[in-house]
Structure 1
Amino acid sequence: MTYEILPVGDDQWSIVAWLWQDFRHDLGAVVNGFPLPDGRYRHEWLDEYPAPDRCGYLAWAPHPNTGESAPVGFALVRGLGFADRIMQAFFVVPAARRGGLGRSFALDVIGRHAGPWAIPFQHDNAAARSFWPRVATEAWGSGWAETTEPVPGRADVPPDHWIRSR
C-alpha cells in the first residue's frame, strides 16, 4: 500500500475527530467503553489538540474504490519541548492493517521528534502489546524498557504498560 504521512493541517482536525470515534470504538472492548449520551465516545484528549506542545499526523492512502486520497490513520503526540515525547493516541483503520503501514507510520512519527519517547497502552490491548515492542526494537534497538503503572483513579483496572526509550 502506498501512503503519505503529513502533519494535521489546521483545517483537518475534523478528520481526526471522525477517525477518533473509530479509534475509541476499537478500544471499547478493551476499556469497557460506552458512547456518551450524545452517541460520541470520550474525546477529552482530542479536545486538547492542537496546542504548542502537541501535534498530530494523518496517514493517507488511495481509497481502494476511487483512488482518491483517504485518511487511514492518525497519531497524536504530546510533550513537544518537554523531557519525553508521548504517543498519546495512535490508530490505523482496520482495512489498512496487516500490511506494514502501522509500523512505518509509527516509526515515521517517532523519527520526526528527536529525544526520549514514552508510549503507553492498556494491559488488555493484545494488539498493542504485540505491536509496540516490535516498533520500539526497530526504533531504538535494545535502548528501551517496558514498565507497568497504575491507571490514575482506576484501581479496578490492570495497570497500563509504558514503553520508554532510554
Structure 2
Amino acid sequence: MTTPPDVTVRPVTSADRPTVERLWLLFRHDLSEFRGQLPNPDGTFRGDRLEAAFSGSEDWAAYLFSRGEHPVGFAFVRALTEPTRVLNSFFVVRGARRHGVGLHAVREVVSRHPGAWTVAFQDNNPRAVRFWRRVGETIAPGAWEEERRPVPNKPGLAPDVWVSFRCPSP
C-alpha cells in the first residue's frame, strides 16, 4: 500500500479550528460505536481534548492531514514535555482509510517528536487493533509493546489497550 503523493501533515493554525471541529464530530461519532456514548443535547460530543489541542500549551500539539485540498484527518498529541508522548486523538475520515493515509500521518507526526510514544485504543474496535499493531511494528519492528490499562474513573468500561514504541531521532 502506497501513500498518495498529495497527503500532507501539518500543524494546525487557529484558522483550521472550524475544520478540525467538524472532523472532531466525525471522530467522536465513530468512537461512540465502541463506547456507547451519545451526543450532548446540542448534537456535539465532549470537547475537552479539542480545547486542549487548541490551548496553545507547550504540552499539546495538533496536526491536520489533507489530501490535496481535502481535510482527511487530524492528530492531537499531549505530554510533549514528558518523557513519553501520547498520541491522544487520531482520526482519518472513512473515505481516506485503507489507502496508507493513516500510517503516513502517524509516521509524520511521531517523527516530529522523536522519543517514547504511547497510544490507546479499544479492544472491541478490530480496525484500530490491526492498525495500531501495524504502526508499532512499522515504527519499531519487534520492539513495541502492548498492554491493557483500566480507563481512569470509569470502572465499568473495558480496559484500554495501549501500544508503546520509540521513534528514533532522524
TM-score normalised to structure 1 length: 0.92
Deviation of 1:123 after TM superposition, in Å, equals 2.0
What residue is the counterpart of 1:38 in the other structure? Answer: 42
Amino acid at match of 2:131: F
Equivalent position amino acid for 1:102 in 2: G
**What is the identity, as a one-letter code, of the residue corresponding to 2:81?**
G
Letter matched to residue 44 of structure 1: D
Unaligned 5+ runs, structure 2: none
Match of 2:134 in 1: 134
Please give the secondary structure, in 2, of the residue aligned with 1:39: coil
Residue 52 of structure 2 is aligned to residue 48 of structure 1: yes
- 1-structure distance, mates of 2:160, 2:153: 12
C-alpha displacement of 1:10: 2.4
Q: Deviation digits for residues 110-166 of structure 1, max 9, x if unmatched?
A: 111111001111221211111001011111112211000011122212100011125
TM-score, normalized by length of structure 2?
Answer: 0.90
- Local SS of the residue matching 1:45: helix
- Indicate the residue corresponding to 2:97 in structure 1: 97
RMSD of the TM alignment (CA)? Answer: 1.1
Which amino acid in 2 is paired with 1:54? W
Percent identity of the aligned residues?
Answer: 37
Structure 2 residue matching 1:116: 3-state secondary structure: strand
Partner of 1:19: 23
Match of 2:7 among 3, 17, 27: 3
Runs (4 or more) in structure 1 with deviation over 4 Å come to none
Structure 1 gaps of 5+ residues are: 63-68
Match of 1:116 in 2: 116
Amino acid at match of 2:59: D
Question: Shift in Å at residue 39 of structure 1?
Answer: 0.8
Cα deviation 1:79-135 (Å, max 9, x = unaligned): 112111100000000001111111111111111111100111122121111100101
Larger RCO (CA under 8 A, 6+ residues apart): 2
Report the Cα distance in structure 1 between the residues aligned to 2:28 and 2:52, rounded to whole angstroms: 16
SS at match of 1:110: helix
Q: Count how many residue pairs are aligned between Structure 1 and Structure 2.
A: 160
